[in-house]
Chain A
């Protein structure tokens, strides 16, 4: 995520092309596993510590802090790197709060914090539309409806299968493996094509001119666009227009299918919500 050159595009990015080139190269190191494992251990300790002992809780928090400090060592020394890092810390805190909170309302608020911080990270990556859509759909509507339900729902009657549903150790293990895989894929040189994560494309695949149809030409074109004056400081790239163009050319069928599914779901919801008209006759 952090080495794709998208740094260049955010608000406070530095201008020289050398720093970009150094970041596009692979930066994978096995020491990156350490903060992930520390974070997982910290979460498990916090989860247990709330139930058992305050000492474990403190140890878990120390472990999470150590994980954060360790991660900070890998950061490039730019202002936007630190801003993204701050958002990441808040998002992780929200996630841990969501999983460990004892009252459902606080859990929902933790989830909201995590979602909003993720939006912040997306904003820093210039993924404006995705960030705004996430804010409207998840933070704006979904979590508010969650809160709505939680405030009225009975919270006393927890069955065994409700409690056993979450197994922190299993979830922690799966999460650790997933994080290591993602970090490897993103940071390892060549395992992740540059083209796929580059949002600066002028136009969609279908509209690319003839001379840009080969893979090498596309990558070179992306690099040139990244280094051109258009991505200088203070200028936010217009990703939304590109997103719209891509959605309605490259992914037209998927968009139409999703729209149809939503329409069917809406009609189904209306059909379910309508009361049977038995009392009208009586």
Chain B
């Protein structure tokens, strides 16, 4: 048995190391992302934000962490205890499990040994694996909502469920174009395919796919333009009304982990991963090159995370029918058209940057047609919207 383990060790240690990195970083990241979020909120609302604990309030996150662990554990009488405890754990588990196929540094396509910056390298269904696992994260919310035995919580959970299932379709549609162009589901190969010049990044020839992908992925994180499941004005607190202390925090740790996942995916699929002008081509094994590429990747991810956080304070919340309409009437047709265009370009062997122009044109056309449709709907037949209450819908 010991010899068997010895034989396994060269395969095992990079995997265990990568798991260790994920396990160590997710909680710290969660704590500090709350801090950054509060700072950004303060900046946008012209306040100072947390500034008491440590220099620039930097230790506020640690103080919050200690506070959370020392809070009293309140368990309401009317909950289904088993599911009530399982739900937040399951939420965080699925969120972290999705990071298994996520490269957090440069992974050479032909890896042999050594640390590989990803838990499971070379899985040729990488991106589908990620979607499969993140499709499970609805369980945490829906179980939490049901186990709370509270109507508001259940409504929040059901909304989340409907939103989740709806937005999974455009999410899947949007990346099929990228996959078809690369010819692989492997995330490392998708990044390697963008390794040429700056104009090889998928962003520059599939802007429509990026738009659909980013919108749907944002909806999957339950963040503010799409945070109907925890809409305070209508549902008290949504699915986590009955949760407090560390159990509440586990839900939010899961949410922040989702944000990190989405940012990583956006960068890896559309923004060229660890490539940068002057830093192109296949991954070399030198330590300096590795660190530089890791830095580039993490910097890009930080940019996307900041963008998501600013978006929270820049956009108002959707109404529920608007939310569903956006998915089914807006994003899914756009995703289908994008897929069709990519197929045409790939089949006929046309220059791929033709897609960028088409995508922009299509986007403008979609905006105009939606606007016109909305106007005609509002003018000719006010009964169609808002159950026929005249005036509100306009």
With A129-B128, A136-B131, A241-B124 given, is the CB distance from A234 to B11 under 8 Å? yes
Interface status of B122 (Cβ within 8 A of chain A) = yes
CB neighbors of A among B188-215 (8 A): none
Interface residues of A (CB under 8 A from B): 11-12, 14, 79, 105, 109, 112, 116, 119, 128-129, 131-133, 135-136, 139-141, 144-145, 147-148, 151, 233-236, 238-241, 280
C-alpha spacing A40/B133, complex, angstroms: 32
How far is the CB of A133 from the nearest CB of chain B, in Å? 8
A280 cross-chain contacts in B, Cβ below 8 A: 381, 383
C-alpha spacing A129/B124, complex, angstroms: 9
Q: Which A residue sits closest to B185, measured CB to CB?
A: A240
B11 cross-chain contacts in A, Cβ below 8 A: 11-12, 233-234
From B11, B122, B125, B128, residue with most partner A Cβ within 10 Å = B125
C-alpha spacing A238/B122, complex, angstroms: 9
Q: Which A residue sits closest to B141, measured CB to CB?
A: A144
A132 cross-chain contacts in B, Cβ below 8 A: 125, 128-129, 131-132
How far is the CB of B385 from the nearest CB of chain A, in Å? 13
How far is the CB of A202 from the nearest CB of chain B, in Å? 14
Partner of A140, one of B8, B125, B129, B135: B135
B168 cross-chain contacts in A, Cβ below 8 A: 140-141
Interface status of B161 (Cβ within 8 A of chain A) = yes
Contact (Cβ within 8 A) B165 A145: yes
Taken residue by residue from 142 to 167, chain B's Cβ proximity to chain A (1 for < 8 Å, 0 otherwise) reads as 11001000000010001001001100
C-alpha spacing A109/B86, complex, angstroms: 12
Contact (Cβ within 8 A) A151 B158: yes
Contact (Cβ within 8 A) A233 B8: yes
Contact (Cβ within 8 A) B123 A128: yes
C-alpha spacing A147/B4, complex, angstroms: 44
4 additional A-B pairs beyond A131-B132, A136-B132, beta carbons within 8 Å, are: A128-B129, A132-B132, A141-B165, A144-B164
C-alpha spacing A140/B7, complex, angstroms: 37
Interface status of B138 (Cβ within 8 A of chain A) = yes
Contact (Cβ within 8 A) B146 A147: yes
Interface status of B290 (Cβ within 8 A of chain A) = no
Partner of A135, one of B135, B138, B164: B135
Interface status of B139 (Cβ within 8 A of chain A) = yes
Contact (Cβ within 8 A) A144 B161: yes
Partner of B161, one of A112, A148, A241: A148
Contact (Cβ within 8 A) A144 B138: yes
